Structure 1
Amino acid sequence: MTQHDTNTANAIAFYDLMFNQCKPREAIERYVGAVYIQHNPHVADGKAAFIDYFEHMAAEYPGKHVRFVRTVAENDLVVLHCHQTWPGSDDYAGMDIFRFDPQGKIVEHWDVLQVIGEASQNDNGLF
C-alpha cells in the first residue's frame, strides 16, 4: 500500500468516524497529528474547537451522513468529494482537503460546500 493509499484510507476513516459515527474526539485521537489547522470559517482552529463543533452538530443533526463519491491524492494532500445529508436541512456537495504530516497524521483542513439545489442548467449533476 502506498502512502497515498494510506493517507486516503485515513482521511475517509477520520471523516466517517467524526461525521457518520458522531465520534469527533476519537477521530482526533486516532488520525490527527500534533496540530490541527482549520480553514473552515465556521470552525475555530485546533483540536478542542473541532471536537466541540462536531459534538454540537451530532446533537443538533442526528442522522447526518456523508457519502464519499471520489478521492484524489497528491503529495501530502487528500481530497474527498462528498455528498453530505443533513436531516431537516439542505444536502451539500463538498470538497474536503486534508494535509498530512510525515507520520501520516492529518494536520490541516480546507473545505468548500455547495447546497444541492433542485434547478440546474445541465443534466450532469454535482457528482
Structure 2
Amino acid sequence: MEQVLEFMNDGSDVYLAEWNNEIVGTYILTWSDPFIWQELDNSESGYIHRFAVHREYRGLDIGKYLLKNAEQQIRLKGKTWIRLDCMAENPRLNQYYRDCGFQYIRRIDGEGWSANLYEKQ
C-alpha cells in the first residue's frame, strides 16, 4: 500500500478493474521511469507498472483488456510509446508481453534482481 501511495504522490495514475463488485486487476501508469529505463527514459512514453490480474480470474482475457486500456490512457496523454518491464526470470510473463505485441528492448540487472524492458508504439 505504501508503494501505491508513493506512486500517487508522484503524479502517477492508479487503475483498478472491478467485476461483480470485486477487484480483479490493477495497473499504475507513470510518465517517467529513469530508474529502470535509464538513458532510454523519455517524455514520449507512458510506463505500465504493477500490472496484475487476480488469479481466480485467469483465462478471461482481463489482462489483455487492462493492457489495451492502459495503452488508450497513455495515448490520451499524447504519448507515442507504451513501455513496461518484468522480471527477467519469469519466462511465462515475458512470453505473455511478447504475445501482446510488445518488443523486447534489453535486460537490466540490479542488485539481486533482473528485468526485461518491453515497448510498443
What TM-score does the superposition give when structure 1 sets the normalisation length? 0.29
More RCO (CA 8 Å, sep 6+): 1
Higher strand share: 2
